Amino acid sequence: MKPLAHGKEDTGAMCDNSLILSRTIAGQAVHRRQFTKRDGRDIFLYGLQSHTEMPLKQDGGEVAKGGELRWHPLRREWNVYAPHRQNRTFKPSKANDPLAPSRPGGPATEIPFSDFELAVFENKFTSLHAGAPQPVPAADIKMARAKGRCDVVVYGPHATGNLSSIGQDKRRLLLSTWIDRYETLYGEGHKFVMPFENRGDEVGVTLHHPHGQIYAFPFVPNVQKQAASAFAEGYDLSKSIKTCESDYKVADAGGMVAWCPPYARFPYEVWIASRGSKAGPWLFDETDQDGFAHLLGDITRRYDELFQRPTAYMLSLHAAPAGSEGNFHFTAQFYPLLRAPNRVKYLASVEQSTGVFTVDVMPEIAAKTLRSLK
């Protein structure tokens, strides 16, 4: 990408450097540019071309660093309290899209450049932050700093699109970005790192520009702690995949398979994993990466075809928590919020109160239905 000509640049940067990562996509090197914005937050620009554009106008102002962790003594889990997030951006107009590229003479956005391939920046309304304050003791509860990081991952400059429509090259770039952030965030000492995507109004999405997020936690959440314990005690997901593949498989590609787990909790829930145990995507070879990226788009396409609309879903990547890499089996998990066209799967009182889900579609039927959508 050549430097773009425009008005006077607004660097405001404490750090601006580029790096060629030690991974490639179809033989092409992946470039990463790190730029520190005027308000102190880092933005990382990933691409198959080196990004050299000078920055445009930037917003200043303080970044909210409040929040705290409180321990739930009956559920035995940490929760994050972040009241400053009440003021986060809520369904802005297209003209005020904060995830769009900035334009010369236009309003400043979160990305102070007029073009980019893929961008990652620290959330301005973050729940977890390296500078989180020490909480003031209150009541008879255990409290801790909400220390961590929350990133926003913007898939590209266009205001519309999804994991299917962005194409294989962009999905491969997204996967390389996730891997780089995994390595960086675990290297900084975080206990669990989870990339995820929320899609659709039913999930509560307030910014519709195609994007995902990454949370880096100072503790291992209960769900991942239980999964790590199950793997440590001998649960073999590879064996389970092989056993149930004939009835539950939706699609496969490279060394990866997408299937509806026989114990799925959501109608049409789909997982993607390697057939052999791998702790995280940083262990994927070239064939795995191609297959995984393809299936991310393929499952999204099948959902939209099945429900005849952009399907609301939650997608989360479950890699090994820190210290559990030895026997953990990575999965990417799709939880669609529809049980039929225009019928939402609501999580009502019993599910919310007990964690016991009532599933409206048998997983083997869901797999057969999704499998038939070529």
**119-128 pLDDT, tens digit each:** 999 998 889 9
**How confident is the model at residue 93, as a pLDDT?**
72
In a domain, 111, yes or no: yes
Whether residue 215 sits in one domain with residue 100: yes
In a domain, 362, yes or no: yes
pTM: 0.94
Total domains in the fold of the chain: 2
Whether residue 205 sits in one domain with residue 232: no
In a domain, 208, yes or no: yes
**How confident is the model at residue 15, as a pLDDT?**
84
- Averaged confidence pLDDT in the chain: 91
Task: Provide the residue count of the chain.
Answer: 374
Whether residue 366 sits in one domain with residue 231: yes
In a domain, 52, yes or no: no
Label residue 320 by pLDDT band (50, 70, 90): very high
SS3 275: coil
**How confident is the model at residue 2, as a pLDDT?**
27
Whether residue 266 sits in one domain with residue 319: yes
Whether residue 126 sits in one domain with residue 234: no
**How confident is the model at residue 206, as a pLDDT?**
83
Whether residue 322 sits in one domain with residue 204: no
Whether residue 331 sits in one domain with residue 267: yes
Residues labelled as active-site residues: 211
Label residue 23 by pLDDT band (50, 70, 90): confident
Whether residue 305 sits in one domain with residue 211: no
CA distance 28 to 118: 16
In a domain, 77, yes or no: yes
In a domain, 288, yes or no: yes
Whether residue 288 sits in one domain with residue 148: no
DSSP designation for 305: H
**174-202 pLDDT, tens digit each:** 999 999 999 999 999 999 999 999 999 89
In a domain, 28, yes or no: no
The answer to whether 217 touches 202, Cβ cutoff 8 Å, is no
**How confident is the model at residue 14, as a pLDDT?**
64
In a domain, 344, yes or no: yes
- Report CA Rg, the chain: 21
**Mean pLDDT (whole number) for 65-93:** 83
Domain of residue 259: give its range. Answer: 224-371
CATH of the domain at 105: 3.30.428.10
Whether residue 347 sits in one domain with residue 310: yes
The answer to whether 44 touches 67, Cβ cutoff 8 Å, is no
**Mean pLDDT (whole number) for 278-297:** 97
Whether residue 252 sits in one domain with residue 239: yes
The fraction of the chain above a pLDDT of 90, given in percent, is 79
Whether residue 148 sits in one domain with residue 77: yes
Rounded to the nearest 5 percent, the helix, strand and coil shares of the chain are 25, 25, 50
